[in-house]
Chains A and B, each alone.
Chain A
Amino acid sequence: MRNGTVLLLLAAMALASAVCLTSPGTGSAIAATLEATDSGAPSAIVMFPVSAKPNPKGSAMAPTVFNHLNHEKAVDKCETCHHTGDPVACSTCHTVEGKAEGKFITLERAMHATSIQERIGQTPTSCVSCHEQQTKARRECAGCHSIVTSKRDPAWCATCHNVTSSMTEQQRKAGIDGTLPREQNEILAAETVQAQKYSRMLTPMDGPYKVSIDALAKKYQPSNFTHRRHVSSLMEGIRGDKLAGAFHNRPEILCATCHHHSPLSTTPPKCGSCHTKDIDSKHPDRPNLKAAYHLQCMGCHKGMQVGRPKNTDCTTCHKARP
Chain B
Amino acid sequence: MNRRKFLTFMGSAGVISALGTAKVAKAGVHTFPYYPNSYGVLHDTTRCIGCRRCEEACNIVNKLPKPEKPFADTTVTHTKRRTSAYAWTVVNKYQVNGKDVFRKLQCFHCNDPACASACFAKCFQKQPDGSVTYDGSQCVGCRYCMVACPFYVPGFQYDEAFDPLVQKCTFCEPRLKEGKLPGCVEACPMDALTFGRRSDLLNLARARIAENPGKYVNYIYGEHDAGGTAWMVLAPAAPAPQPADTKDAPKETQPHEDEFTQLGLDRHLGSQPMGELTYGALGAVPMIVAFWPVLFGGAYAISKRREARYKAEKEAHIEATKNDLAAAVDAAVRKIEETQGPGAADTARRAMTEALQAREAANVAEHGEDK
User: Which A residues contact B (CB, under 8 angstroms)?
Assistant: 114-115, 118, 120-121, 123, 133, 136, 149, 279, 284-285, 287-288, 290-292, 294-295, 298, 311-312, 314
Contacts and interface: CB of A to CB of B under 8 A. Distances in A.
A295 B190 contact: yes
B50 A279 contact: no
Given A123-B243, A149-B211, A312 B191 contact: no
B241 A118 contact: yes
Contact of A284 (B190, B204, B240, B241): B204
Contacts, number: 53
Contacts of A115: 213-214
A291 B190 contact: yes
Contact of B247 (A121, A149, A288): A121
Contacts of B207: 285
A284 B194 contact: yes
Contacts of A149: 211-213
B188 interface: yes
Interface in B237-264: 240-241, 243-244, 247
Given A279-B195, A295-B47, A298-B190, 12 more contacts: A133-B240, A149-B213, A279-B194, A284-B196, A284-B201, A285-B207, A291-B190, A295-B191, A311-B49, A311-B50, A312-B49, A312-B74
The 9 closest A-B pairs by CB, nearest first: A291-B191, A311-B49, A287-B191, A312-B51, A284-B196, A312-B74, A285-B204, A294-B190, A294-B189
Nearest to B244: A118
Contacts of B211: 149
A233 B140 CA distance: 64
A311 B51 contact: yes
Contacts of B49: 294, 298, 311-312
B50 A312 contact: yes
Contacts of B214: 114-115
A133 B204 CA distance: 27
A133 B241 CA distance: 11
A279 B213 contact: no
A285 B208 contact: yes
14 contacts: A115-B213, A121-B247, A149-B211, A284-B201, A284-B204, A285-B207, A290-B189, A291-B47, A291-B191, A294-B189, A311-B49, A311-B50, A312-B50, A314-B51
A314 B214 CA distance: 29
Given A121-B247, A291-B188, A291-B191, A284 B74 contact: no
Contacts of B241: 118
A317 to B, nearest CB: 11
Contacts of B74: 312
B135 interface: no
Nearest to A292: B191
B318 to A, nearest CB: 92
A136 B242 CA distance: 13
A113 to B, nearest CB: 11
Contacts of A298: 49, 190
B212 A120 contact: no
A115 B49 CA distance: 28
Contacts of A288: 191
Nearest to B248: A120
B295 to A, nearest CB: 57
B45 to A, nearest CB: 13
Nearest to A120: B247
B56 to A, nearest CB: 12
